[in-house]
Structure 1
Amino acid sequence: MGYEFSPADVAYLRSPEGDAAVAEVGRLALTAGSYLADVRTARELVGERAGAVLETVLLRRRAAAKVEEPGRWLFTDEALQQATPEVVARHRAERFAGRDVHDVTCSVGVDLIALGAVARRCLGSDLDPVRLAMARHNCAVPVVRADAVRPVSRGTAVFADPGRRDAAGRRRWRPVDFLPPLDSLAEVYRGRDLAVKCAPGVDFADVPWAGEVEIVSLDGQVREACLWTGNLATVRRRATVLRTGGPEWTVTDAEPEDCPVRGAGEWIIDPDGAVVRAGLVRHYAARHGLGQIDPHIAYLTGDTPPPDIRAFRVLEHGHYSEKSLRATLRRLGVGRLEILVRGLDLDPNKLRPRLRLAGDGEASVVVTRIGRTPVAFVCRAERT
């Protein structure tokens, strides 16, 4: 856990004196080697507020991965961990354009800023007085203290980003794993257009009230699911792929899903994780004229890969065994190897040392199965 801010800490940080203190401490390196000495320096400079100032400096440095101008933000450690990257927040806010919107779990205001930029009118609320004070510093949208499951607005579309209970290592999430629970939000705002951000591991069958489930990835990493209801929902399932400063695209279950199962072509394509998680592999394949190498495996193949992705040009392929793969890699002089596995109980980190790689070459190997037969595709990864 990070430093526990008090309302007095936030008031200090919002003052000219606090702003100057953060700037001064921000000049310190605060690296592993200098940290203890830097903490002593910070205490000499700031006194009893050193903890709040140091935490703010460290959080702003981490926040560069979430917000574009971290130097103006106030966060708590937990709020920063859960905060939506601005690219994702802006994408989600587009559906609320021109609406009256209430963010009922506004926290420190990352989503609130994105919503406020497009909404006709916007309101934020939260129960945590510290986060509310930080939100007032971070954004110009009005905020009030209120419980998300005790509505204080009428006639608005609603956005919620409930907290997560501690569930280390969990890949599947249940509605009760969130605070407030997903089903409680759905019941309280029944009849209103609602969007709920949650972990991408939620089981779609557990949220039958969601008109649409959207899985979002950013820069190749699956970030979240968003559950849309009412007029905000437009399809049943959607995968959205975002890139910082780059193109974005989406695929939905309203598109054709006719794609063949076929033998390996010139390329192996590993669809973006949002496509896989949303169950839209066949729709993505149909869009790009690809086929599946097995009807139950998410790897696709074709002679022309989709544009602007990292795909795998097949050099050799055949029945997989460690012995045969080791021999192939040795013959090709592969010393650096990326290992992708799907459909087999195989740990790449344990396999790699057993292959005894040697040479100056570099390759990727896709290990999977066709039917019950394990196969290996030795490839060269290329950006298309």
Structure 2
Amino acid sequence: MGYQFTIDDVDFLTSRHGAKALENVTALELSASSMISDVSQVKCRYAPREAALIETVRYRRRARVKLRDAQDMLFTDDALQQATPTTVASLRAAEIGARFPGSLVADVTCSIGAEVRELVARQDISGVVGSDIDPVRLAMARHNVPGATLLRADALTPTSRADVVIADPARRAGGSRTFRIEDLQPSLLGLLTTYGEQPLLVKSAPGIDYLALRARFGFDGQVQITSLDGGVREACLWNDVASEGLAAQRATVLRSRPDGTVGVEEITSAESDDAPVAPPGDWIIDPDGAVVRAGLVRHYAARHGLWQLDPQIAYLSGDAVPPGERGFRVLEQVGVAERALRTALAARDCGTLEILVRGLDVDPDRLRKKLKLKGSRPLTLVMTRIGKSGVGFVCEAGVRA
């Protein structure tokens, strides 16, 4: 659950004295080996605010890879975990500005303001209102997004005449992360009922059962699954009544480039899914998790001239690796028995082995230990099922095109 911040903590952290205290605590190592002495030092100087100071510095360090200017922000533990990465929030703000130019946008679960910060930066959005029921998170948001219009309100009580509404229901129940639609707070049904007559975006965990959402709640909007640098980050439900003809499913694949820009590839269910099933070619491709989670593996294959090894398995094959994708060049096809694998890998001087599995009940870590590899060459073993038979592919270590 993390440290439970109070309004008094936030008032202190945003004061001149608190800012100086944060500067001093930031200079400390705060590692496992130094924590006892560091805590003692901070407590001696800043009690009773030592926990608020130390946790704020630790959260800022954790947030650096996720959020822009995290070194100046305030967080709670849960708020940081659920905060949308800056790259994803910025792309969404740009899409809202392009599709709804001049709109007033309301973030009705603004939390510590990570999404509001990207929305207010857009020139094509006329105004932004953020609201949250939690007074501590709202106080943090006022610090994180100075000058923003922020209100304390229940998400199911409209506080503005917004053109577009964004909501990010809490995804925890009893202290644990949840993927159950019924456990979201505020409730998904409540959000759809309250804001169903206007464009509504509901962010959720990527593991949400969107098929059940369509079947049980009658949701007929678009489900967008977004990944960033190989990690699936969220599902976004677009209940967009202002636009027509949106594809039911969309995968948004974001990849950071060395020059600091971000590459964007989007695949939708409106595209062709005419992908054949055929024996393996030169390469095996494991599609990005957003593509798999969105159910768009065949659409992705059709776009890039790939094919499936089995109609029920997400691995693809082809004669080339799509741009930006990671592929595995096939060296040999083998059985999945340990003896056959050990013989094949030893013959190729394998010492370091990455094991990828789909469709088989195999624990990669346990198998790797049993193989007792002693060579020097790094290889990848792709294990899957074709029809009713298990099969392995010994491949060169993954190469990104």
Q: Indicate whether the TM-score tops 0.5.
A: yes
| Residue 236 (structure 2) pairs with residue 214 (structure 1) | no
1:167 and 1:91 map into 2 onto residues whose CA distance is: 32
| Residue 22 (structure 2) pairs with residue 4 (structure 1) | no
Determine which of 310, 313, 322 is the counterpart of 2:326. Answer: 310
| Residue 126 (structure 2) pairs with residue 120 (structure 1) | yes
Counterpart for residue 287 of structure 2: 271
| Residue 191 (structure 2) pairs with residue 185 (structure 1) | yes
1:248 and 1:10 map into 2 onto residues whose CA distance is: 37
Q: Is the 8 A contact 1:2 1:76 kept in 2?
A: yes
Counterpart for residue 240 of structure 1: 252
Post-superposition CA distance 1:212-245 (Å, at most 9, x none): 0000111101111000012367221000111233
2:368 and 2:108 map into 1 onto residues whose CA distance is: 48
1:29 and 1:155 map into 2 onto residues whose CA distance is: 45
2:278 partner SS: coil
| Residue 59 (structure 2) pairs with residue 59 (structure 1) | yes
How far did residue 318 of structure 1 move? Answer: 3.1
The 5-angstrom pairing of residues 48-197 of structure 1 reads: 48-97=48-97, 98=101, 99-118=103-122, 119-139=125-145, 140-166=147-173, 173-197=179-203
Determine which of 233, 236, 246 is the counterpart of 1:226. Answer: 236
Q: Is the 8 A contact 1:336 1:363 kept in 2?
A: yes
- For 1:305, give the aligned amino acid: V
How far did residue 26 of structure 1 move? Answer: 0.8
Deviates more, 1:172-181 or 1:23-32: 172-181
Q: Closer, same or farther in 2 for the Cα pair 1:52/1:188, shift >3 Å?
A: same
How far did residue 29 of structure 1 move? Answer: 0.6
Q: Is the 8 A contact 1:195 1:232 kept in 2?
A: no
1:174 and 1:341 map into 2 onto residues whose CA distance is: 26
How far did residue 168 of structure 1 move? Answer: 8.0
Counterpart for residue 34 of structure 1: 34
Q: Closer, same or farther in 2 for the Cα pair 1:366/1:260, shift >3 Å?
A: same
Q: Is the 8 A contact 1:257 1:282 kept in 2?
A: yes
1:92 and 1:66 map into 2 onto residues whose CA distance is: 15
| Residue 391 (structure 2) pairs with residue 375 (structure 1) | yes
Give the TM-score taking structure 1 as reference length: 0.96
How far did residue 9 of structure 1 move? Answer: 1.1
1:27 and 1:259 map into 2 onto residues whose CA distance is: 56
Aligned-residue RMSD, C-alpha: 1.5
Give the TM-score taking structure 2 as reference length: 0.92
Counterpart for residue 269 of structure 2: 253
- For 2:252, give the aligned amino acid: T
Deviates more, 1:86-95 or 1:273-282: 86-95
1:238 partner SS: strand
- For 1:181, give the aligned amino acid: S
1:168 and 1:47 map into 2 onto residues whose CA distance is: 28
How far did residue 206 of structure 1 move? Answer: 2.5
The 5-angstrom pairing of residues 277-316 of structure 1 reads: 277-316=293-332
2:366 partner SS: helix
- For 1:112, give the aligned amino acid: V
1:137 and 1:194 map into 2 onto residues whose CA distance is: 26
2:65 and 2:117 map into 1 onto residues whose CA distance is: 17
Post-superposition CA distance 1:166-202 (Å, at most 9, x none): 37887x8232121111111111111111000001111
| Residue 363 (structure 2) pairs with residue 356 (structure 1) | no
2:105 and 2:162 map into 1 onto residues whose CA distance is: 9
% of aligned pairs identical? 50
1:383 and 1:20 map into 2 onto residues whose CA distance is: 45
- For 1:104, give the aligned amino acid: V
Q: Is the 8 A contact 2:308 2:315 kept in 1?
A: yes
2:111 and 2:220 map into 1 onto residues whose CA distance is: 23
How far did residue 347 of structure 1 move? Answer: 1.0
Post-superposition CA distance 1:265-316 (Å, at most 9, x none): 0000000000000000000000000010111111000111101221100011
Post-superposition CA distance 1:346-375 (Å, at most 9, x none): 111111111111111110000001101111
Q: Is the 8 A contact 2:232 2:290 kept in 1?
A: yes
Q: Is the 8 A contact 1:194 1:232 kept in 2?
A: no
1:76 and 1:173 map into 2 onto residues whose CA distance is: 21
2:64 partner SS: helix
1:308 and 1:163 map into 2 onto residues whose CA distance is: 33
Q: Is the 8 A contact 1:343 1:369 kept in 2?
A: yes
- For 2:231, give the aligned amino acid: Q
Q: Is the 8 A contact 2:334 2:341 kept in 1?
A: no
Q: Which 5+ residue runs of structure 2 have no aligned equivalent? A: none
Q: Which 5+ residue runs of structure 1 have no aligned equivalent? A: none
Q: Is the 8 A contact 1:183 1:207 kept in 2?
A: no
Counterpart for residue 43 of structure 1: 43
- For 2:317, give the aligned amino acid: T
2:90 and 2:220 map into 1 onto residues whose CA distance is: 21
Q: Is the 8 A contact 1:204 1:213 kept in 2?
A: yes
2:201 partner SS: strand
Q: Is the 8 A contact 1:174 1:206 kept in 2?
A: no
- For 1:184, give the aligned amino acid: G
Q: Is the 8 A contact 1:291 1:302 kept in 2?
A: yes
Q: Is the 8 A contact 1:294 1:369 kept in 2?
A: yes
1:193 and 1:320 map into 2 onto residues whose CA distance is: 50
2:154 partner SS: coil
- For 1:105, give the aligned amino acid: T
Q: Is the 8 A contact 2:334 2:344 kept in 1?
A: no
Q: Is the 8 A contact 1:210 1:228 kept in 2?
A: no
How far did residue 155 of structure 1 move? Answer: 4.0
